[in-house]
């Protein structure tokens, strides 16, 4: 069962991290939270399935052409969440995992940037627990364990091994991930 993160700090009563909100910039409608807001949420599950706490940032989607689904890896550029891909691998913007479907530029939602993720996506290539992660060269929004020159992600590791045979689901441990911003291998 996927994590059930409930926001508890710095306030109670926020929307669930999986919920997204539509807004109309031209009409001046307001979002439930300020873009860029960071909160701490706790997994509401019990027993060994509980993932503990995580940090989430409220972001707007970047647009329909680059929408991010729940579990996709995104770069946080200003107040927007942009699906990560090999074309932006030289960027130094922070990364995270979309907690809800950020489908259009008039949709905002939470991106997890710290803690355990059990709703992440992976490629058809295996993601190996404990191995370094790299931006997938062929598919937007996904990471893999196969080395891709210059695309290594720092501050994130696969928590468990996964592959396409596991419904393309993977668990990751995040600690404010980002790319080094270099095309050189280290």
The answer to whether position 44 is within a domain reads yes
The answer to whether position 164 is within a domain reads yes
Total domains, the chain: 1
The answer to whether position 33 is within a domain reads yes
- 99-127 burial: b if 16+ Cβ within 10 Å, else e: bbbbbebbbbbbbbbbbbbbbbbbbebbb
Is 183's pLDDT higher than 60?
no
For residues 162 and 160, give the distance between their C-alpha atoms in angstroms, rounded to a whole number.
6
The answer to whether position 186 is within a domain reads no
The answer to whether position 184 is within a domain reads no
The answer to whether position 185 is within a domain reads no
Domain region containing 129: 5-178
The answer to whether position 127 is within a domain reads yes
Coil/strand/helix, residue 15:
coil
pLDDT in tens, 89-116: 677 889 999 999 888 878 889 999 999 9
* Radius of gyration of the chain, Cα coordinates, nearest whole angstrom: 16
The answer to whether position 57 is within a domain reads yes
pLDDT in tens, 10-23: 877 666 788 887 77
pTM above 0.85, yes or no: yes
CB atoms within 10 A of CB 15: 15
């Amino acid at each position: 069962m996927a994590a059930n993160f409930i926001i508890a700090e710095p306030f109670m009563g926020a929307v669930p991290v999986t919920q997204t909100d539509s807004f109309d910039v031209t009409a001046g409608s307001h979002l439930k939270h300020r873009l860029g807001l960071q909160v701490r949420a706790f997994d509401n599950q019990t027993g060994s399935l509980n993932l503990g706490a995580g940090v989430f940032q409220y972001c707007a989607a970047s647009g329909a052409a680059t929408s991010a689904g729940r579990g996709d890896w995104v770069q946080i550029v200003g107040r927007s969440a942009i699906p990560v891909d090999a074309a932006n691998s030289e960027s130094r913007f922070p990364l995270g995992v979309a907690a809800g479907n950020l489908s259009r530029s008039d949709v905002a939602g939470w991106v997890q940037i710290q803690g355990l993720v059990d709703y992440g996506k992976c490629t058809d290539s295996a993601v190996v627990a404990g191995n370094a992660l790299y931006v997938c060269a062929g598919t937007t929004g996904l990471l893999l364990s196969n080395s891709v020159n210059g695309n290594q992600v720092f501050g994130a590791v696969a928590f468990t091994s996964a592959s396409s045979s596991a419904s393309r689901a993977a668990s990751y441990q995040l600690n404010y991930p980002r790319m080094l911003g270099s095309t050189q291998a280290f």
